[in-house]
Amino acid sequence: MSETMLISGVAGFIGSHLADYYLDKGMQVIGVDNFITGNPKNIAHLQHHPRFRFIEHDVTEALYVDEPIDYILHFASPASPIDYLKIPIQTMKVGAMGTHNMLGLAKAKNARIMVASTSEVYGDPLVHPQPEDYWGNVNPVGPRSVYDEAKRYLEALTMAYHRFHGIDTRIVRIFNTYGPRMRLNDGRVIPAFMGQVLRGENLTVFGDGSQTRSFQYIDDLVRGIDLLLHTDYHLPVNIGNPDEISILDFAREILELAGNPDLKIVFRPLPENDPKRRCPDISLARKILHWEPRVSRKEGLAETFAYFKGLSPEELRQTEHKNFDDYIKK
């Protein structure tokens, strides 16, 4: 009998790629999602897969599963600033109660669990690039705090389960990741810019565009996650691409990719507490996982642009995510 993995957030961007990866490796995959920010289309191709089972469930509620589980990947959480600003309570609940439930399930099943943390735990960092032993500079009451503090709590709770209950845990600190199956309207900079060029709109750069990010392609992340899962390292590990670029230069790259000379860059106000610089120090991942990113921004952006180009005209026009309204009422 092959091993079984449960993935929370399976209908999201990263979760759906993880499901593909572990199904390809021959595992049984149980996917869990409530579609709050995800998309059923991301897992539609798995509907009839003999080793895939889907449970529609909100992981902030207890989850009972009959069969044995070997691994849990807890990836459920809104991840884009627009999403977590619109659904702040759900964001805190999935980071806190959702993580508690997934750790409880790992304890009940004696499963190894990895939780998805983020570079946002470093806040607006004062140390550059960010190593894992930097404790961060987070505003605990700013608009982004619902995500940042939920993820800091997720890390603390995971370490408590590891130290107190001896649960076999992993914490991955993911830096900005992109690729096919991101939601075009999730507000993150890559889908935002790609949606704009495909609709023939100008690119909106927030602030003066001097803030930096370091973008990692999904395939590199998935490979890093798998390597980390198979070590015995319990403290957080950064997985990201250290190729740093300013948002203004990045907008210019996207204009070049689009090849439409009519489009321009327009400037919009910088959101509150938007981190000024972000770049992972990946020395630890290099050392313990022998991992480093392989996909260049040029290659990754070409793959991602091809995906967004394949969306229907109706999908391209959608700027709102219809699922929020239902959940906000709950």
Residue 147 is a catalytic residue = yes
User: Which of residues 104 and 271 has its CB atom nearest to ligand UDP in the complex?
Assistant: 271
What is the SS3 assignment for 35? coil
Q: 199 and 184 in contact (C-beta within 8 Å)?
A: no
Q: Which of 73, 76, 194, 239 binds ligand NAD (CB under 6 A)?
A: 76
**Nearest alpha carbon to residue 226 among 32, 11, 12, 5:** 5
- Comparison of 174 and 192: residue with beta carbon closer to ligand NAD: 174
CB crowding 141-180: b at 16 or more within 10 Å, else e: eeebbbbbbbbbebbebbbebbeeeebebbbbbbbbbbbb
Report what 77 binds from ligand UDP, ligand NAD, none; CB cut-off 5-8 Å by kind.
Answer: ligand NAD
- For residue 271, state whether it binds ligand UDP (rule: CB under 6 A): yes
Establish if 138 lies at the interface with ligand NAD (CB under 6 A).
no
Residue 11 binds ligand NAD (CB under 6 A): yes
- Write down the H helix ranges in 5-57: 13-24
Determine, following the binding rule CB under 6 A, whether residue 189 of this chain makes contact with ligand UDP. yes
| Cβ-count burial 32-49 (b if 16+ within 10 Å, e if not) | bbbebbbbeebbeebeee
Residue reference for tokens 């845990």: 169
From 71, 147, 161, 217, active-site residue: 147
Which C-beta is closer to ligand UDP: that of 81 or that of 125? 81
Residue 274 interacting with ligand UDP (CB under 6 A) = yes
Find which of ligand NAD, ligand UDP, none residue 9 binds, CB within 5 to 8 Å per kind.
ligand NAD
Identified binder of ligand UDP from the candidate list 17, 57, 188, 297, rule CB under 6 A: 188
Closest listed residue to residue 282, CA positions, set 240, 235, 227? 240
Applying CB under 6 A, the residues found at the interface with ligand NAD are: 8-9, 11-15, 32-38, 58-60, 75-79, 94, 98, 116, 118, 174, 176-177
